[in-house]
Amino acid sequence: MAGRFEALPGGGAAVALDEVEISILRSLAVQLMELIGPGDEPVEGEDPLAALFAEGPSEPPSDPALKRLFPDAYGDEDEELRAAAADFRRYTENDLRARKRQDALAVIRSLDGLASDDEGGAVLKLTPDESRSWLGALNDLRLTIGTRLEVTDEDESGELYRLPDADPRKPMVMAYLWLGALQESLVETLMSGA
């Protein structure tokens, strides 16, 4: 099970993680939540339905990683499409941000709830719902790190993956690859249990 998710009876997935992996995953999830930003908490006495219809931003984020997490729906080829994308963003981005925060928080909570074994590791057991949250958070983490590393389709050929150990990007590349392997094994596990 080391490093790969496996199916649990009745659904869900499990993976063995060591102390360092737990720490890295938790740290990355916290950083993701900080990047996404705090959610708007309903004001006491405010109509709960008003929060459902609250408008979000109409402009794409300026941070490239956030722009990747919250892309324009229709592109920006012409003014009509830009207007449609702004409207779509205004009514969907708050909910999308909330879901991404919930996914990252699910990762943090499940890692915080782990009991370490004698060697400092633990087996993380996820319900089907937790597995879906983890899948979303792993995807968001890879998108964010990939954007920061400026990963492109051409990079799949290997230049980024053959960095010398002295390159300051090397730790993030290693995290990117590891998260990809975790994500792939979780997808395979969930698909095999479906």
Report the predicted TM-score, pTM, of the whole model to 2 decimal places.
0.86
Q: What is the structure's pLDDT at 1?
A: 43
Strands 13-17, 6-7: pairing kind:
antiparallel
DSSP 8-state secondary structure symbol assigned to residue 125: E
Q: What is the structure's pLDDT at 186?
A: 96
**Cα 159 from Cα 163, distance rounded (Å):** 7
**Cα 40 from Cα 79, distance rounded (Å):** 30
Supply φ then ψ for residue 71, to 5 degrees: -75, 165
DSSP states along 128-192: HHHHHHHHHHHHHHHHHHHHHTT--GGGGGSTGGG--TTSTTHHHHHHHHHHHHHHHHHHHHHHH
DSSP states along 11-71: S-EEEEE-HHHHHHHHHHHHHHHHHH----PPPTTS-HHHHHT----SSPPSSHHHHHHS-
Each residue's pLDDT expressed in tens, for the chain with a length of 194 residues: 457 999 999 889 999 999 999 999 999 999 999 999 876 555 566 665 565 566 778 888 899 999 999 998 887 678 888 888 888 888 889 999 999 999 999 999 999 988 877 777 899 999 999 999 999 999 999 999 999 998 877 665 577 778 899 999 999 999 999 999 999 999 999 998 65
Residue type, 46: E
